[in-house]
Structure formats: C-alpha cells, structure tokens
Structure 1
Amino acid sequence: MKSNFLKLVLPAFAILLAVGLAFATKEKTVENEGHYLHPINGWTAVSVEPECFTGSDIPCTYNGHQLYAQPSQSSKKLKKD
C-alpha cells in the first residue's frame, strides 16, 4: 500500500513543483528604451543609457534625432546631466 501511494504521489508532486516554479520567475522588462521619429520609417525604439531618464540639461539623441520616453512628440523628452 505504501509503495503504491509513493508511486502515484511522487510523480504528481514533481509535476506540480515544476509547473509552480515555471511561473515563479520574474519577467525582466526593458526600461531603458527611447523612441525617436525617423523621417522615413516613423517611430523607432532604441536602447538608451539610464541617465537619459533622470537628467535635465543635455538632450539625449540618436543619429541627431531627439529621443522621447514614448512614441509621441508630446511625451517627455529624454535628457541627461
């Protein structure tokens, strides 16, 4: 009886543990993303340095284009110190 119980419960426990741990990981989001308006391609996203989100003096640019926090010219312009 004890042997049959372990043969049934142990694999079920292993499967439940594996499924539970698969959902326990935290997804990493990309926060250092800036957007610029390309004259031909429209809004394009690029990776930017974290200082661009906290600064206030020097505009963050990519190939001469002003970077924005969101793909909209009314959103925050990214600047660094």
Structure 2
Amino acid sequence: MKAKFFKLLLPAFAIIMAVGMAFATEEANSTQTGYYNHPILGVQAIPTDCPETGQVLCMEGQWQVFKDPALTIPLYERFE
C-alpha cells in the first residue's frame, strides 16, 4: 500500500512543482538584442540581458553594448 501511494504521489508532486516553477520565473531575465560597433565588422547584434538603466556600462569584450543599431541608447550591467 505504501509503495503504491508513493508511486502515485511522487509524479503528481513533480508535475505540480514544475508548473509552479514555470510561473515563478521572472520576465526580467529574458534576453534582448544588443548592438556593439566592431571596428572591422561594423555593427554586430548579440543577445544580452543588460537593462537600460544603471551605472556600469554593459560591455561585450572591450566594446560597449547599445540597445539600438544606431548606437545611441547605452545598456548597463545588471546588479541584483
């Protein structure tokens, strides 16, 4: 009886937990497209999770990352 109870309860608990964790994720962790100006290749697009506000500039290697391809809106490092 005890084994049957656990065989039924454990998968049900795992499914409930997976659904609950899916709703617990933060939208802020989603990535956006950032742009940086490579001296040889020109403007390059990269995935980034850097926000538009902050104090430390977001960098890709040695190049600063921007939100738009015109390189006018800088992105900043995320500190939480």
Structure 2 partner of 1:42: 42
Kindly report which structure 2 residues correspond to 1:1-81, keeping only aligned pairs within 5 A, or say none: 32-49=32-49, 52-73=50-71, 75-80=72-77, 81=79
Superposition CA RMSD, Å = 1.9
By how many angstroms is 1:54 displaced?
4.1
Q: Which amino acid in the other structure matches residue 78 of structure 1?
A: L
Tell me if the contact between 2:32 and 2:47 (Cα under 8 Å) persists in the aligned partners. yes
* Structure 1 spans left out of the alignment, 5+ residues: 1-29
**CA spacing shift, 1:58–1:39, aligned 2, 3 Å:** same
> Per the alignment, in what secondary structure is the counterpart of residue 37 of structure 1?
strand
By how many angstroms is 1:55 displaced?
3.0
* Structure 2 spans left out of the alignment, 5+ residues: 1-29
Distance 1:32 1:40 in 2: 24
Tell me the alpha carbon deviations over residues 17-45 of structure 1, each in whole angstroms, 9 at most, x when there is no partner: xxxxxxxxxxxxx8611000000000000
TM-score between both structures, scaled by the size of structure 2 = 0.53
Q: Please list every run of at least 4 consecutive aligned residues from structure 1 whose deviation after the TM superposition is greater than 6 angstroms.
A: none
